[in-house]
Amino acid sequence: MMEGSLSKWTNVMKGWQYRWFVLDENAGLLSYYTSKEKMTRGVRRGCVRLRAAVIGIDDEDDSTFTITVDHKTFHFQARDGSERERWVRALEDTIVRHGRRERWSRCVPAPAHRHGDLERRIAEADAYLQIMIELVSKMNTRVSELPDPQEKNKGQVILDHSNAMLDNIKHSIVLLQIAKNTVNPVNGVYQGPTNPSQEHIKEGQAMSLLVPDTSYSSSEGEDDFYDADDEPADTVVPGPSASRTCGAEGASEQEATPPAAVDLPRTRDGEIDYDALYEDDSDSDLGSMENHGSVVTHLLSQVKIGMDLTKVVLPTFILERRSLLEMYADSFAHPDQFVKIVDMPTPRDRMVQVVRWYLSSYHAGRKSQVAKKPYNPILGEIFRCHWDLDGESVENNPAKQEVGDGPVPWCSPDQLSFVAEQVSHHPPISAFYAEHVNKRIQFDAWVWTKSKFLGLSIGVHNIGRGLVTLLDLEEEYTLTFPNGYGRSILTVPWIELGGSVVIECQQTGHKANIEFLTKPFYGGKKHRVTCEVFAGTEKKPYYTAQGEWNTRMEGRWTESGRSEVLFDVTNMKARRKRVAPVSRQAGGESRRVWRHVTAALRAADTDCATAAKRRLEQAQRDAAKRRADAGDKWITQLFSPKGEEGWEYNEPLSKRTERSKSPERKAPENEAR
């Protein structure tokens, strides 16, 4: 058994309240009392059954945790992170052991001699308890009648020790009763004391030994838990492709058997139209987590709180129909907001515009109303695309001028181009780059995700950095990325962002501090963001903003007091990416790599999708083994390492521009000869 104090959330009016908790591993039960003294008397306030329970923590808070069971979620708070860790580990071990422990067989009774011995010991302890109760009662009367104050104080000390001993004997009887029920449980459930001689033990104490049919709190009208079936969010989160010939590790051109479905888009030749599949925003849901209960239960049984999920194979039905590399491209779903940074007249206006583009980029990243996971890119995978700006459509213009180089050589200087590459598998690092030639602006970034199991949630830490460069103004804006959280993974998952982000320009000294606020379990809104922008060493921000990143944010200029709408997604339509047809893509480009998995998911054929995904994964393993046997190292195509952990695009606009400005080298006379 494990005992200790924790705070338990009661309701909005009462908030957190101190409780004394007792974890009974044998019974699979977490009981709580209003005080330790009430525990020794057996007056239980409530209990939480741990059979089939799920523990949850939040990375944004190091002291709280939850237990979800019986369609309820209970909230607890420890003093600090180490105490939470101690309780969470003990609870996890109890859940695992209790779940695996086989119930006593009804046809095989427990050893009679052991059960009888415990019964005898309990009866003996009960007899001693009766004697102690009588003696303490007499002592209490005698001490109260002592006329001498000094003698009365001495008697009171003895009386206090006697009462403490009395409580310990009561507690011992409770433990003996639990031991008896461990040896001989009734229907696999621990029962309360049945010895008639224990009438002096209060009814509440007898109740404390029972494992109820459901978790409960004994206080009437106390709303101390929340429904575990959270509602899905209205919108979920985004994440932030190289010549025409490229290759990815394990990208196989072997044709897979297409899913036998009649509703897939087809070309005139009757073949699957993979391009139409990727442009299809309809949500062909393969079922919620509740519809795949056995799969989810098996998955949860393999992981523990805080476990790294990088190498855990997740079920196919939670996949979204695109690669993570394509998802990063959605940071530029509003290309005009990005290139507009260059047009701002002052450093303050430019910093605010960077913030506007950055915060407005997240709402367009998900197609589904239910949180799903994009494909993990294979090593060497590449994704490229480009966008028209508002009011400019040069794609089908016969006089279109092509840039001839950069991330998308066939796009126009008036279009925004993007390329991403999976440069590492362990850790899984993605590097991406975007530019607009005529506006003379570029963006270089790298990020790798570290997933962690949090019980009811999955936390994704985005480790990396981005760099916006304004070439003509010689300004660079560094930025980081928030963490993502997949909530309610047992029911209808939804995603929120959390953590701190910093955007900073060393050349101007301006800095923006952004906080993505996770929703508290009691009240509050989802997807809240606050932002403060500072100039140099000034203590007071010259611009502040707040709101929700998936709907609307409002800003305010501090000095003038002028307010404005930073962005409103209802008035912002995401620009459609222009991507080369799958038939013209090289073997390592994202949409071609994942086309069979995408088709199967669209047809709601889980088996076919899983088989296609396994072929890709096996091809990666085979390619990695061949390299290891030959002593070869993987060589990236478009990005190179920078510093200790960063990555940069090999041919950014800045480098190409500088090279074009350099005078052609003249050959020396002896070379000319």
pLDDT value for 187: 39
Pairwise pLDDT comparison (378 vs 215), residue with the higher score: 378
pLDDT tens for 530-557 read 999 999 889 999 999 999 998 999 999 9
pLDDT tens for 649-672 read 999 999 998 887 765 544 444 433
Neighbouring C-alpha atoms within 13 Å toward the C-beta of 118: 19
Q: How confident is the model at residue 310 (pLDDT cuts 50, 70, 90)?
A: low
How many Å apart are CA 511 and CA 500, to the nearest integer?
Answer: 13
Neighbouring C-alpha atoms within 13 Å toward the C-beta of 602: 27
How many Å apart are CA 501 and CA 553, to the nearest integer?
Answer: 16
Neighbouring C-alpha atoms within 13 Å toward the C-beta of 53: 28
- Which of the residue ranges 86-100, 244-258, 357-371 has the most confident prediction, judged by mean pLDDT? 86-100
pLDDT tens for 120-136 read 777 777 777 778 888 88
pLDDT value for 123: 75
Structure tokens at 490: 């047992």
Residue 289 has pLDDT above 70, yes or no: no
pLDDT tens for 225-242 read 433 333 333 333 333 333
Nearest to 582 by CA among 603, 601, 599, 602: 599
Positive or negative: CA dihedral 271, 275, 276, 278: positive
Candidate from 72-86, 270-284, 350-364, 571-585 with smallest mean pLDDT:
270-284
Residue 44 has pLDDT above 50, yes or no: yes
pLDDT value for 305: 72
Residue 312 has pLDDT above 80, yes or no: no
Residue linked to tokens 């003698």 = 151
Nearest to 237 by CA among 327, 355, 366, 326: 366
Reported residue count of the chain is 673
Nearest to 66 by CA among 30, 100, 13: 30
Q: How confident is the model at residue 638 (pLDDT cuts 50, 70, 90)?
A: very high
Task: Quote the distance between the C-alpha of residue 229 and its chain's center.
Answer: 17
Pairwise pLDDT comparison (109 vs 472), residue with the higher score: 472
pLDDT (average), residues 68-85: 87
Note the pTM of the prediction, 2 decimals.
Answer: 0.69
Residues contacting residue 118 through CB under 8 Å, at least 6 positions apart: 176, 179, 180, 183
The DSSP call for residue 272 is: B
Checking 173-179 for CB contacts under 8 A at 24+ apart, the result is 173/122, 173/125, 173/126, 173/129, 173/198, 173/201, 174/42, 174/205, 174/208, 174/209, 175/1, 176/118, 176/121, 176/122, 176/125, 177/122, 177/209, 178/24, 178/26, 178/27, 178/209, 179/118
pLDDT value for 54: 85
pLDDT (average), residues 373-386: 94
pLDDT exceeding 90 applies to what percent of the chain? 36
pLDDT value for 645: 83
pLDDT value for 672: 36
Q: Assess contact for 325 and 528: CB atoms under 8 A.
A: no
pLDDT tens for 170-228 read 777 777 766 666 555 443 444 444 443 343 433 334 333 456 666 766 543 444 443 33
pLDDT tens for 84-109 read 999 998 998 888 877 665 444 334 45
Q: Where are the alpha helices (DSSP H) in 146-195?
A: 149-183
pLDDT value for 426: 84
Candidate from 165-169, 366-370, 644-648 with smallest mean pLDDT:
366-370
Q: Which residues of 333-345 are buried (b: 16+ CB within 10 A; e: fewer)?
A: bbbbbbbbbbebe
How many Å apart are CA 497 and CA 43, to the nearest integer?
Answer: 42
Residue 245 has pLDDT above 60, yes or no: no
